[in-house]
A and B are shown apart, each in its own frame.
Chain A
């Protein structure tokens, strides 16, 4: 579904991604792990069209995404739930949802989709006319997710949905990720909470210093000594929802 080949991206002279190659299959939850500063968010922003790569290719369902604007990429069927949510704080919950459907013209279907999101996230229904800036962190994460879903993406990109959230809320968010996966939505997830990611993802990649250093199944991930030590060993005694920051 998504193919990234030898992708490089730089901020001026500083190269944040170097020859990154990875793929995501339709219907799967694919998880990208990596420490802070590894280039995960840079990769997500590149996929969303915010940043342009210096070399390499990105193809989605056989079509190149290079040179496309963020709006064109939304049209192609990708939507990003950004790190730290980035909801529109001075707009209401309903307006945030409508903003997610900006590229669509089918008004009746949009109204139906808003109802669907409110059924999926009942807490948003309670706060439908409230300003998004007044929501809790967990509610804002739900709103960011619902907003991305309003564009009816075929591949949902999620950048660290658990960051800064309480363990209970993280569990709730990952429950929703499982639901979305069960409904057939393909997900490309960037996460540092390996324990939660292991419960939802079918394939893992590890990004370190701008390069992919591991690719494998959950079983292979758990069996890898280096990854086990870095991400899993220390946290085995901790509650499962603790974030395994490295």
Chain B
């Protein structure tokens, strides 16, 4: 019965992980923007929410949208600073020939720039709020539902339902809306998208901001159950999100759910067997495995990821 309880705990843990992986999948997998400041942006949003809650006495219903808006604005900043140059040259015929234009070099510069922004945002948080452990609006349930020998936390169940709903909504929007089609088309072939009359730079810019805004939703979901935010939150977001996105296929919105369930269940069992260190080791091991599988599939595939 212990096994089933751990599995159930892991499944419920998948909810927050799916939220974390969703924004990363949109940004990394679909828009092909390797944004290392993903977690740091969410952390800045979280600290802003904490500050508004503790210092300004904002209620939770106002704090959560403020966190999402802050992460979206941070995304706009990262987009402008790190990926603006890529956008300015988007649509040019040179992009069809990276060897001539140095498009690959620009991507490396953008990656390095996003790392610099990660450090910048982290320092901003550390210096802004010297006491690093801060309170966040807490909505964690005080009671557990019991079904025979199994216990279930209703707050985690609610968060999982929200995560599944959001993942399916984003998937539906990407597959069936005009903007979703444009986002997928510009990610696959920007020049062809340009020739089809799509505003490539605009689509990519706002898609990226949306992905960052989703990281704000994830931050709200996770921290509202924890009731606190720490300086390690940014790194946690990046690593968990990356693991989930990699397992899910890096570009597959529905794959995020699969990746989140794998990570959640594995961690729950590893935690029970080997404690916190075992849990972290299992998560790192899973990321490594996903990277190895991804590398091998990339070497044999020429069509890239399938946007499902």
Q: Which residues of A contact B (CB under 8 A)?
A: 11, 41-42, 45, 48, 50-51, 69-71, 74-75, 79-80, 82, 86-91, 95, 98-100, 102-103, 131, 133-134, 147, 151
Query: How far does the alpha carbon of A74 sit from the alpha carbon of B184 in the complex, in Å?
Result: 20
Do the beta carbons of A51 and B196 come within 8 Å of each other?
Answer: no
The answer to whether the Cβ of B137 comes within 8 Å of any Cβ in the partner chain is no
| A151-B184 in contact given A86-B191, A88-B189, A102-B178 (Cβ < 8 Å) | no
CB distance from B186 to the nearest CB of A (A): 9
Closest to A105 in B: B178
Contact in complex: B188, A86 (CB < 8 Å): no
Say yes or no: B303 contacts A71, CB within 8 Å: no
Give the A-binding residues of B (Cβ under 8 A): 91-94, 96, 178, 181-182, 184-185, 188-189, 191-199, 302-307
A86–B190 CA distance with the chains assembled, in angstroms? 10
Indicate whether A74 sits within 8 Å of B303 (C-beta atoms), given known contacts A98-B181, A99-B185.
no
Other than the given A70-B91, A102-B196, 6 more pairs (CB < 8 A) read A69-B91, A74-B195, A82-B195, A90-B184, A95-B184, A151-B197
Q: A50-B92, A90-B305 are in contact. Are A70 and B181 (CB under 8 A)?
A: no
Main secondary structure of the interface of A (DSSP, over half): mixed
Cβ contacts under 8 Å, B302 to chain A: 133
In the complex, chain B residues whose CB is within 8 Å of the CB of A11: 94
The 22 sampled A-B contact pairs (Cβ below 8 Å) are A41-B93, A50-B92, A50-B195, A71-B194, A71-B197, A71-B198, A82-B195, A87-B189, A87-B192, A88-B184, A91-B181, A91-B184, A95-B181, A95-B185, A98-B181, A99-B185, A99-B198, A102-B178, A102-B182, A102-B197, A133-B304, A147-B196
With contact pairs A45-B93, A50-B91, A102-B178 given, residues A88 and B188 touching in the complex (Cβ less than 8 Å): yes
User: Once the chains are docked, how many angstroms separate the CA of A74 from the CA of B196?
Assistant: 7
Which residue of B94, B185, B306 is within 8 Å of A88 (Cβ)? B185
CA A95 to CA B93, docked complex, whole Å = 23
How near does chain A come to B201, taking the closest CB pair, in angstroms?
A: 10
Residues of B within 8 A of A48 (CB): 195
